[in-house]
Chains A and B, each alone.
Chain A
Amino acid sequence: MKEDSSGNNVILKVQGLKKYFPVRRGVLQRVIGWIMAVDGVDLELSGGKTLGLVGESGCGKSTLARLILKLVEPDAGNIFFRGEEITGLSRVEMKPYRRFMQIIFQDPFGSLNPRMTVGQSIEEGLRAVGVGSLEQRRRRVVELLEMVGIPALAAQRYPHEFSGGQRQRIGIARALSVDPELIICDEPVSALDVSIQAQILNLLRSLQEGLGLTYIFIAHDLHVVEYVSDNVAIMYLGHIMEYGPAEVVYSQHLHPYSSALLEAAPVPDPSAKRSWTPLAGDVPSPFNPPPGCKFQNRCPLVEDRCRKGEITLYEVNGAHRVRCWKVLGR
């Protein structure tokens, strides 16, 4: 393990990562603009820790996840896994890294092969990384399914024969099967009721304690993110707006968007009915956004300066960072 300046073991480092999707229109499919899905993201992740990633739907979380795993090619930036640069690696060159970096996809149906039983799907993954004999692999499949609360008999069934939440748990079992070091969990518990959700969160936590797994945890449920994360990054239109230790981001957040998001979190209590407050202003378009702060058209504090030049991610103290000059008075 490489050590960074502060003595932490850095498992993943991402610098200046960008992904712009072209928008093509007309018969000639001419490019008429760009969607800036991920627009310059820096991250550093220590082994055995969890980074929570939250933000509005469409802000670029899944794209960032797919960039890190090299499922899409970045337009700019660098990715380092355990100190080694993997940015330019080809599919074949990535192969030895695959088993260490897994993803639990947001859409479990789309990520399972409909023509394979779930047992075959998981077993195939094990075979690809060369795990034991067929007999050993089958035993492992049963063990994995039971870990996520699916009866072993179900290994012989096809994806469509399961409920939404069962499929999601099959995706989790598959990601865990190859003993990865880093797992990107993209909405891993969104389809689960609270009791099974708790079971899965406890499982992820005990694996982290036992095996030192590192997670990037993407979720919309802010209570869940607070519970699982060591650090939290808040994204908005391809930018990280605020970053820091979970306690700090949750209780001393500074960015106006963080406030809008975190303070809108509904609570499971019928007497709190009035808490439905959408963000004011129109949802901004990711197409060719205006210069300056990406939050400008919805921000209650906006001033002229916010509309000029790029706003950088300022250091507040320790690891806490905020992309807003105004709240910091800088």
Chain B
Amino acid sequence: MKPEKISKTIEKYGNDREHLMLILRDLEVQSGKNVLDVQTLRSVAEQMNMPQGAVAGFVGFYTMFKTEPRARFVIRVCKSGPCHVMGSTNVFDVIQKHLGIGIGEGTKDGLFFLEKCECLGVCSVAPAMMINYDIHGNLTPKRIVSILNSYKKKKPTLKEDCGKEVDGKACVINDPKQMKRLIADVGVVDPLKIESYMARGGYEALKKSLKMEPAQIVQTVKDSGLRGRGGAGFPAGVKWTFVTKGPHQKYVVCNADEGEPGTFKDRILMEENPHLLLEGMAVCGYAIDASLGYIYIRGEYRRSIERLQRAIDQARQKGILGKNIFGSKFNFDVLIKEGGGAYVCGEETSLINSMEGKRGYPRFKPPFPGGAGFNGLPSNVNNVETLMSVPMIIGKGADWYKAVGPQNCSGTKLYCLSGKLNRTGLVELPMGSTLKEIINVYGKGMAKGKKFKFAQVGGSAGGILGKDLMDLPLDIDSPMKKGVTLGSGVVLVCDEGTCAVDFLMQILSFFEHESCGQCVPCRVGTAQLHALVKKIAERRGTEQDIDALVEKATVMKKASFCALGQSPIMPITTMLKYFRKEFVAHCNPKHKCPQCDKSLARYYSGRGH
């Protein structure tokens, strides 16, 4: 690429390392071949005054970038849990048949390149794929072909052109029995118009906050019992007190990386009610004395990025973001950062490294982000759902909020339903709803009258729930006692047709792909777990291999640097608790398993699988 083109792009975003992600993304789109070639990267390093290695290291970490030419359009087919269960192997079949390419291969005309990818966050309309930055769901053979054909005349751009079926509104379950708080305005508010949000009482909570003492706000959030919705369930108000006080700059960081397979709640919230997030962040900013907020959104969520940017622009115009908000002394602005295809960047310290234009390696703690976060300054990291809960807590009070849900896990929870149900999508229910209720009432029962086999709760880092746990309250603490976790609220339901080995293989390949590789137990452990389960799926395994899965994952649990490496033990032990027999059966070379065969044939073929 011409150096002038590169310098223009750098100028557009700024010369600092923290803008590297956006600069590279833009350059990759401009390349027309979805490539960042070495020459371009050298020039970027030189012009940004960065070591060449730092740019090479960055590009190599984020899977959305490639240094080899691909094609005008990259097709990324999701193979994570929900899509896998709903038939992503068929999607590969159709594409392979229609275009004649395997994974890591491109068509001769330079139009398409095929890749597999992890969760795209549209799990209720699985199986799904992303073409450049457009996401398409509900894929059937016919739809796939017509979607592909529609790209023949298109030009690569950063603007999303997703199908209607993945629209936030379309992914919410409409059921009057829900308890709608966070999603009360989804479909009511026009996400493109700030006036519409304000007409529904938007930004009133911020106004109210600005008349309160910051400490009072923190206390209210503490009293509400709101716990983090990103997975760990840490009390939000308590976390806010950890932000080091003083005259220095502090930041509110919103974790919108949403990488946990099966999770799509944050996307819907951001797409459908972006101003609510800005309001929550502003209240948090006021409470912890931060004048700047960052939203780190995964790069796959173009629509969220666009709608939030629009919301930010509108709020700035109205003076709701900026200086002296609502006539107070409070200044606050919000900026967007983007991800590049790395699940681990949802871990709060990886996220901060990624925001700084670095490889998404988790940092050791202490120091925690509240002490030293973005650029070494105190940063409070919260999930989208957590921050969006704040305005209603301020608006309606802590008592109102905690009147719902169990004592230690108050409020409502967004559950992301996917898999073999008659109805899938997002539901908002009191924290602690049971699997039985979720499946029967909100999922309208098992699809096609098939029998329930298991549910994966909490995503890849969560666990497997069998029939015996149908009545377990899915709150934050109760699942822990059973060796599972609610995590981000994933409920992926599988019927009797699902092979346990095949399912675990897909989880463990996910972990190998997403491990950052920094620490030994996880880097090597995830690869070995994947190899072991693959061996069993290929019917070459032994019972020792089954035990080795548990042994390795135990070492990882005890010794890994961050929660990613500590997680695989959960799906493994819970899966084996129910289906060890099935694993043993797979150890017989004569055992027939068309599902494992198909996964092995589809996901592990092509030049670049």
Chain A complexes with chain B? no
